[in-house]
Structure formats: structure tokens, C-alpha cells
């Protein structure tokens, strides 16, 4: 089921795109977003024969290979629901722009351009960049930019912790040969509907949304880890159960004053219609998706623990082990909660694209 596909990950692709850009002597000014293009462990490759930006060079002897794109007779227009939020499932593959953004592709255009879905969920036509047709895993570091998520008493913001841990998960998965794309690689706001579309566009084995929790001070003998699965998807449920098992194996080593709700475990949360409440589970479907709440950032003892890069590395390794067991065994996982405590139907706001300012894409 899990053939290892494109053995590249997004930071490498971004670097390649930048290298190709820098060597193409393009006279156009291109703003490189240093944050969006951040890569921790990228080595320069001498092989830059991919789809380089379709710029003209000053050399008269060089023939550039413009990607052959079949442009449909009628170009697709982005479709929205009645609330003005784009409908998921409209794209195929992603374009990593020369500025480092991951953009679901609506259609190829001529001369190396693409019609894409912007981070804020709008339509735009963009030149250059690198196409990624699929990925083994899409990793989603929760929150970002103006949305900090939970904030620890020590000042650690969930958006930053999520990104740190997700980068370690990426490195672990890539190190094992999987291809990975992240929905954000810097401190930026990306609406959930766009994160989900990146998931759908890449048809991964799974979409994993990485979070840390807040909301209870109830002392517990065990960690309050919550792994949310899609209600109607047995694979999502089993993967969540395996992620729960491996995460607990890491956290159970530490004797600290945990907090937890009475029904922590491998769980689910319905909305009023009986579907998945959380947009990161509902919107990527039919892609298998899991929402990981590793521990409680709101608990000072847990904040201190998960601030430790070594512990973060262990959590990342736990995800790698869980993924391996998901793909190579029939292990059922554990921690399943049949009747979760009612957590309310309130407006999740998931997917909202209002008050969103798109970045420079080229």
C-alpha cells in the first residue's frame, strides 16, 4: 500500500528551485521569503535538472526545457461554498513557488505557469516554481502567524512548538525514505481549508495535524494525550490508535504531574450533523487524517518537558514507528474511547479565509 514515491521533500525542492532561479540570471526581481524557504539540513545538490523556472537566460545557446503542460480548453475557476470558503478537492499536485509557498494546483497554464489556490484560498496564476505531484505524508503544524494556539505559562506558544516538533517528524520520515510536504514551514497563518487542500492535492498515505493541548487543570496519573481520528475511516482510527500507543510509550517514561480529561485516548469529536467536528479531519477526507494532541502545553510541568529538544525528538520517532506499524502490520492500536465526553458543537471556524492577506507568490 505504501510505495515510497518521490524521494524529495519540500525544503530540498525549495532549495533546488532557488538554486535554479539564482543561476538563471533572471532580470525580474524575485523576493525570496527567508522564513518560508528555511531548511535545517539541506545540502546543495548539483543536479538541478528539474522543472526550472521558465525564465529566459542571457545565453543564446541554451535551450530551456519548458515543462510540457496540456492546457485545458476551459480553465477551471475556483469554486466556493455559500459562506465564501473554497470547496475542497479541486486541485491536483502542489506548486512550490519560488518564494517557498506550497500552492495546490488548479491547472497548468502555458509557458510554465500554473493556476493555483493561494494560501488565503483565492485563485491566482503564478510563474515558475516546482511541481510536486504527490507525497507519502502531509504534515500540518497547527496554527501560525496571528493564531498562536495554546500558550504555556512559561510563554511557549503552541504554533512554534508545533512547528519545531513537525520539523523533527519530517526529518524522521524523510530519513526513512518517505516523501513529505508540510503545510507551512514558517510562522505564517494558513487557513485550515488550504491546509486540507494541500492534503487532498498530494494524495498522501496520511495527513497528520500536529498540536499541543490546553483546557484542563485536572491532575492525572497518566498523560492526557488525545489522538483524534475520522469517525467514518477505519484506517484513520487504527493509525490514531498506533500513534497513541507509541506516544504513550514515550511520555510514560516521565514521572511528572500530568493533566488530562477523564476520557483522554484515541478518540473522535462529532459535529451536530454527525460528521467530524475538526476541519483538519473533515476537510482532507477521503485522505486518512489524524489530529495529534501530544500533551498539555497549558500545564507548566508538561510545557517544560516538551520544550526539551530530546523529548521532541522522541515524539517524532514515535510517529515514525507508528507509521511503520500502520503500513507493515495489522496491529490495531490502543486507547480507543467509545463514548467521549461531549465537548460541544460550537462554531469551530475551521477553514475560514476572511482577514487573510496573501503573501507575495512570485
- Contacting residues toward Zn ion, per CB under 5 A: 142, 149, 211
User: What three-state secondary structure class fits 206?
Assistant: strand
Residue nearest to Zn ion (CB): 211
CB of 159 to Zn ion, least distance (A): 8
Query: Which position has the grid cell 497518566?
Result: 222
Closest CB to Zn ion among residues 97, 213: 213
What is the rounded distance in angstroms from the CA atom of residue 324 to the CA atom of residue 255? Answer: 28
Cell of 154: 512559561
Closest CB to Zn ion among residues 132, 295: 295
**What does the CA dihedral 212, 214, 216, 217 come to, rounded to 10 degrees?**
90
CB of 261 to Zn ion, least distance (A): 15
Closest CB to Zn ion among residues 149, 152: 149
Specify whether the CB–CB gap between 179 and 135 falls below 8 A. Answer: yes
CB of 58 to Zn ion, least distance (A): 49
CB of 212 to Zn ion, least distance (A): 7
What is the rounded distance in angstroms from the CA atom of residue 276 to the CA atom of residue 332? Answer: 21
Closest CB to Zn ion among residues 211, 325: 211
Closest CB to Zn ion among residues 105, 315: 315
What DSSP state is assigned to residue 139? E
Cell of 108: 497548468
Task: Name the β-bridge partners of 108.
Answer: 114
CB of 186 to Zn ion, least distance (A): 17
CB of 297 to Zn ion, least distance (A): 9
What is the rounded distance in angstroms from the CA atom of residue 186 to the CA atom of residue 346? Answer: 29
Closest CB to Zn ion among residues 149, 223: 149
- Spell 29-53 as b/e; 16+ CB within 10 A means b: ebebbeebbebeebeeeeebebbbb
Amino acid at each position: 500500500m505504501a510505495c515510497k514515491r518521490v524521494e524529495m521533500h519540500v525544503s530540498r525542492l525549495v532549495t533546488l528551485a532557488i538554486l535554479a532561479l539564482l543561476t538563471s540570471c533572471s532580470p525580474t526581481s524575485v523576493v525570496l521569503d527567508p522564513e518560508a524557504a528555511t531548511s535545517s539540513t539541506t545540502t546543495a545538490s548539483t543536479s538541478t535538472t528539474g522543472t526550472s523556472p521558465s525564465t529566459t537566460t542571457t545565453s543564446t545557446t541554451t535551450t530551456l526545457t519548458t515543462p510540457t503542460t496540456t492546457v485545458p480548453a476551459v480553465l477551471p475557476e475556483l469554486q466556493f461554498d455559500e459562506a465564501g470558503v473554497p470547496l475542497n478537492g479541486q486541485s491536483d499536485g502542489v506548486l512550490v513557488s519560488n518564494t517557498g509557498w506550497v500552492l495546490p494546483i488548479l491547472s497548468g497554464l502555458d509557458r510554465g505557469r500554473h493556476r493555483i489556490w493561494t494560501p488565503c484560498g483565492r485563485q491566482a496564476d503564478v510563474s515558475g516554481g516546482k511541481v510536486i505531484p504527490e507525497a507519502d505524508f502531509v504534515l500540518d503544524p497547527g496554527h501560525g502567524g496571528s493564531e498562536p494556539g495554546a500558550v504555556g505559562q512559561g510563554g511557549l506558544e503552541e504554533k512554534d512548538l508545533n512547528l519545531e516538533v513537525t520539523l523533527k517528524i519530517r526529518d524522521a520520515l524523510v530519513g526513512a525514505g518517505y516523501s513529505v510536504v508540510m503545510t507551512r514551514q514558517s510562522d505564517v497563518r494558513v487557513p485550515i481549508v488550504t491546509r486540507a487542500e494541500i492534503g487532498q492535492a498530494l494524495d498522501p498515505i496520511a495527513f497528520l495535524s500536529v498540536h499541543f493541548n490546553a483546557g484542563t487543570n485536572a491532575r492525572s496519573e497518566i498523560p492526557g494525550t488525545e489522538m483524534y481520528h475520522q469517525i467514518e475511516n477505519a484506517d484513520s482510527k487504527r493509525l490514531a490508535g498506533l500513534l497513541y500507543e507509541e506516544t504513550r510509550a514515550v511520555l510514560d517514561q516521565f514521572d511528572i504531574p500530568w493533566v488530562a480529561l477523564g476520557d483522554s485516548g484515541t478518540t473522535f469529536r462529532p459535529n451536530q450533523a454527525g460528521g467530524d467536528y475538526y476541519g483538519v479531519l473533515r476537510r482532507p477526507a477521503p485522505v486518512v487524517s489524524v489530529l495529534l494532541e501530544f500533551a498539555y502545553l497549558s500545564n507548566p510541568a508538561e510545557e517544560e518537558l516538551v520544550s526539551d529538544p530530546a523529548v521532541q525528538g522522541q515524539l517524532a520517532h514515535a510517529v515514525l514507528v507508528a507509521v511503520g506499524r500502520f503500513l507493515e502490520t495489522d496491529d490495531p492500536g490502543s486507547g480507543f474511547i467509545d463514548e467521549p465526553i461531549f465537548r460541544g458543537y460550537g462554531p469551530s471556524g475551521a477553514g475560514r479565509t476572511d482577514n487573510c492577506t496573501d503573501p507575495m507568490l512570485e
